[in-house]
Amino acid sequence: NEAMEAGVVVSAAAGNDGPDNDGLSGMGSSSLSITVGATDDKNTIDRSDDTVASYSSRGERRDNGDGNPLNELKPEVSAPGTNIVQAEGCVTSGGCNNFIGGDAADNGYTGRGSGTSYAAPAVSGILAMMIEANPDLSTAEMKEILKLTAERRGEASAPDVDPFWNRDFGWGMVDAYEAVNLALYLGQQNLTGSVDVFSQVHITNSSVNASTGLHEIRGLAWGQAGSISAVEYRIDDGAWMEATYETVEGGLAALERFEWVIALDAGQLAEGNRTVEIRGLNNEGTPSLPVFTSLLGTMDGQANGGALGVDLVTLSAFLVLLILLGLLVQGARIDPPQQLGSVQETGAVDAVLVTEEAPLETQPKKAGKRKKS
């Protein structure tokens, strides 16, 4: 715990006591560290057949009495820990599997071992890559990124506390690619150190609604400490817009969840893959870690641009036609235009309308005298 608080990120082995352990122990029971369970990859590269290792210690951790049910959810993540190839430095005689004599310069990597102590170093390696991608990450941000980007496995073991944590896998099997990508993104968007790691926004489904034809993205949001006041989304770095959800007067307490939905018309989105970024905002407006999904836009931008061009040409032709008609009407006048003549006299100017039948008089009219009262 002290190392994490000092800025040194720690991944600790959950232990090898299997499913019937007494609630974790040692460094694996640390509240702040990243506790790692082990999986068995069945010696294949296909993750779909991976299972929790039979020996991996399961959660929850024993209650430490601090009133916070979240830190009993151990392990946080799981990683390959079964039949792991290892290096053996055999420089003297002994029981090394790959001992070939000499100074060990030609020794290979033929030894294998199993245990959560093999899984934890894999997570340490991922953390090292995250730090290289974004050196300014806090230990809490690194821990939350690993949890958020992990591949979920198993049913929720403590649904009243968290809808995704599982006692075998934690929040899932670590995903190095997604974890490093999110670390990079926080740095690129200047969000490092500015997110609320206790605000939770998760996608539960992203698919087309057969009734409406709209692409619906659904999810859950809640605060582990405090509450979330809004869920927002944007498409391809566009303007932020608010998702749809039912508001609760007075807000929600910590750990109280609500559902949100975003409905998008793919026909109104530019053709190609569109990225949708979603975040929650706490009561102070601080964003959560973002989550992402994508959908295929089907609007043909060139076709719409062409249609707009035809409309402009048509409008221009119509305006030219109106001008020509105006000129024709002007040239077809029978009566000559009337002239506006003026008569000036000291101190007054009168205007009279004259025609050819009533020519302008050569002498100006005298102004009438006003009677004095």
Residue type, 90: C
- What type of residue is 236? D
Q: Nearest CA to 31 among 6, 63, 79, 57?
A: 63
Closest of 215, 205, 225 to residue 152, by C-alpha: 205
Tokens of 5: 């608080």
Beta strand 291-297 with 272-282 is: antiparallel
Instruction: Give which of 224, 212, 312 is closest to 266, Cα–Cα.
Output: 212
For the chain, give every domain's residue range.
195-323
Q: What is the pLDDT of residues 91-131, one digit of tens each?
A: 555 555 544 445 545 555 566 889 999 999 999 999 999 99
Task: Select from 10, 12, 161 the least CA-distant residue to 78.
Answer: 12
Residue 257, token pair as written in the block: 């969840």
pLDDT per residue of the chain (373 residues) written in tens, 0 to 9: 999 999 999 999 999 999 988 888 788 899 999 999 999 999 899 999 999 999 999 999 999 899 999 999 999 999 999 998 876 655 555 555 544 445 545 555 566 889 999 999 999 999 999 999 999 999 999 999 999 999 999 999 999 999 999 999 999 999 999 999 999 999 999 999 999 999 999 999 999 999 999 999 999 999 999 899 999 999 999 999 999 998 777 778 899 999 999 999 999 999 999 999 999 999 999 999 999 999 999 986 443 333 333 344 455 566 666 676 666 655 554 444 443 333 344 443 333 333 444 444 444 333 333 333 3
CA distance 120 to 132: 19
- Nearest-CA neighbor of 290 among 305, 301, 279? 279
CB-based burial label for 151 (10 Å; 0-12, 13-18, 19+): middle
Q: What pairs with residue 38 in β-bridges? A: 79
Backbone angles phi, psi at 317, to 5 degrees: -60, -40
Structure tokens at 273: 């893959």
Which tens digit of pLDDT belongs to each residue from 129-164?
A: 999 999 999 999 999 999 999 999 999 999 999 999
Residue 304 tokens, joined: 């719409």
CA distance 120 to 13: 5
DSSP states along 311-350: HHHHHHHHHHHHHHHHHHHHHT-SSPPPEEEEEEETTEEE
Distance CA 350, CA 167 (A): 101
CATH topology for 195-323 is Immunoglobulin-like (2.60.40)
Q: Nearest Cα to 114, choosing from 55, 59, 35, 168?
A: 55
Is the CB of residue 37 less than 8 Å from the CB of residue 170?
Answer: yes
User: Could you give the 3-state DSSP secondary structure of residue 5?
Assistant: helix
- Please name which of 128, 131, 90, 93 lies closest in space to residue 111, comparing C-alpha atoms: 90
- CB contact set of 340 (below 8 Å; sequence gap of 6+): 351, 353, 354
